[in-house]
Amino acid sequence: MSEICKLISVTNQKGGVGKTTTALNLGAALAASGKRVLLVDNDPQGNLTAALGFTQAEQKYTLANLLLAAIDYPEDLELHLKRAVLHTENGPDLIPANRRLADAAARLQVMQLSQYNAVGDAERSCEKVMDSLLAPLRTDYDYIIIDCGLKQELLTVNALAASHYCIIPVQAHFLASEGIPEVLELVRSVQAKFNPNLKIAGILLTMYQSRPQLCRSVRESVGDIYGEHRPGIILAAMLTFAGMVFLWKRRPTTQ
Ligand SMILES: Nc1ncnc2c1ncn2[C@@H]1O[C@H](COP(=O)(O)OP(=O)(O)OP(=O)(O)O)[C@@H](O)[C@H]1O
Ligand SMILES: [Mg+2]
């Protein structure tokens, strides 16, 4: 294997800022350039699953099954992985999600509570479950991109603990920079406790062109505060567009 798989989490605790759109289009663009890409829907809303043309409620095998298998039946994980990964024609593969992911997050929380009483077992830590379940897939893909949700923070911590990079989409809006300190705090805490290799790939200004004057001033202020003074944070901008940038046909799951 010449290239090492890169894991990227797309996260911001603010809603509707373009996380799913970023994960989807980044994944589609990389797949279109010939890379092997797996998208992971890490949000019980299942928006990424729906955006790829799958009906969330119909998905029998999802990220929830994988998390529960990784916790309770790690020996069956390989079988569950084969069932859960969906394939799209010419596009990225997908581990889907639906509301059941919230139940798996609750299971992680129970695990977290019991960890306080147990002697530290790093391999069995509730923050590293996603890392362990994605490990067998690393040889199959060039990129694994995880779309994070808003609520269950433990799911986001799991994604960050498994990732090499995170991208923080920020809407080009006058209150945009409000949520950034919270995300940076979470990233720093994951770096310190679970994943010293995690890097911030960048703060991505989304929906950038709809009001050019406002967008420029948001870019300047976010850049002033977080760009120059924090090494390693690069500002980029994603233009407004009317729909999906890349289109592909869904194909049935192979088992
Ligand atoms: N660059 C863009 N230009 C125009 N519209 C966009 C752009 N990016 C996202 N949108 C639209 O903004 C809305 C929110 O985007 P998206 O679902 O990607 O945000 P999100 O951060 O994943 O939301 P949530 O917090 O609910 O998961 C969607 O309707 C999406 O189509
Ligand atoms: Mg989303």
> 156-191: per-residue pLDDT in tens?
999 999 999 999 988 877 666 777 888 999 999 999
> Of ligand 1's atoms, which has the minimum distance to the CA of residue 23?
18
> Of ligand 1's atoms, which has the minimum distance to the CA of residue 239?
1
Look up residue 96 and give its two tokens.
């889907």
The backbone torsions φ and ψ at residue 119, rounded to the nearest 5 degrees and listed phi first, read -70, 140
Each residue's pLDDT tens digit, 115-146: 765 555 555 799 999 999 999 999 999 999 99
Quick one: what percent of the chain has pLDDT higher than 70?
A: 79
Query: Per-residue DSSP letters for 97-141?
Result: --THHHHHHHHHHHHHHHHTTSPP-GGG-GGGHHHHHHGGGTTT-
- Tell me which residue has its CA closest to atom 3 in ligand 1: 240
Measured from the alpha carbon of residue 13, the closest ligand is: 1
Residue ranges of alpha helices (H) inside the chain are: 19-32, 47-51, 63-72, 77-84, 100-115, 129-134, 153-162, 180-193, 212-222
- Cα of 14 vs centre of ligand 2, distance in Å, is 10
Residues with CB under 6 A from ligand 1: 15-21, 43, 45, 47, 149-150, 206-207, 238, 240-241
Q: How confident is the model at residue 9 (pLDDT cuts 50, 70, 90)?
A: very high
- Tell me which residue has its CA closest to atom 10 in ligand 1: 18
Examine the pLDDT at 230 and tell me if it is beyond 70. Answer: no
- Cα of 26 vs centre of ligand 1, distance in Å, is 14
Each residue's pLDDT tens digit, 19-60: 998 999 899 889 988 999 999 999 999 999 998 889 888 899
Distance CA 78, CA 59 (A): 18
Examine the pLDDT at 151 and tell me if it is beyond 90. Answer: no
Each residue's pLDDT tens digit, 86-117: 998 778 999 999 999 999 999 999 998 887 65
Given the candidates 3.60.20.30, 3.40.50.300, 3.40.630.40, 1.10.3720.10, the CATH classification of the domain at 6-250 is: 3.40.50.300
- Cα of 91 vs centre of ligand 2, distance in Å, is 19
What per-residue confidence (pLDDT) applies to 216?
73
If you average pLDDT over residues 198-222, what whole number do you get? Answer: 76
Q: How confident is the model at residue 241 (pLDDT cuts 50, 70, 90)?
A: very low
Look up residue 153 and give its two tokens.
């923070």
What per-residue confidence (pLDDT) applies to 213?
73
Q: How confident is the model at residue 235 (pLDDT cuts 50, 70, 90)?
A: low
- Cα of 171 vs centre of ligand 1, distance in Å, is 9
Tell me the average pLDDT of the chain. 83
> Of ligand 1's atoms, which has the minimum distance to the CA of residue 238?
1
What per-residue confidence (pLDDT) applies to 178?
74
- Cα of 33 vs centre of ligand 2, distance in Å, is 24
Site to probe by mutation for ligand 1, drawn from 20, 21, 98 as the one with most ligand atoms within 8 Å of Cβ, is 21
Residue given tokens 């994605």 in the structure block: 134
Site to probe by mutation for ligand 1, drawn from 10, 11, 20 as the one with most ligand atoms within 8 Å of Cβ, is 20
